[in-house]
Amino acid sequence: MTEARRLIITGLVQGVGFRYAMLAQARLLGVNGWVRNRRDGSVEAMVAGSAGQVEAMLEWSRRGPSGAAVDDVMVETASGDYTDFELRPTA
């Protein structure tokens, strides 16, 4: 069964390769969805997959890549049907 979560990640998460690292991690784990920067300095993502895949992405999101300093990850239950993981334009 597929689960989906919408994430808002705050802290030092822009300008550190967060989106590209998340793309690589999602593809490694087989997670679908998307990631984008937001104008307020946060990163927004939609992650979808099995419960284990989604939990692994949540754990990764709380750390991020080596240059990031994550303060908080807001998680909401979501829905959607995604076939890949992609980068989206800033919103």
Over residues 3-39, the pLDDT tens digits come to: 999 999 999 999 999 999 999 999 999 999 999 999 9
Provide the pLDDT confidence category of residue 81 given band limits of 50, 70 and 90: confident
Question: What pLDDT does residue 80 have?
Answer: 84
Tell whether the torsion through CA atoms of 88, 75, 13 and 91 is positive or negative: positive
Question: What pLDDT does residue 17 have?
Answer: 95
CATH code for residues 3-80: 3.30.70.100
Per-residue pLDDT, averaged over 50-72, amounts to 97
* Residues annotated catalytic, as ranges: 19, 37
pTM: 0.95
Residue that has been written with the tokens 């990031």 in this structure? 68
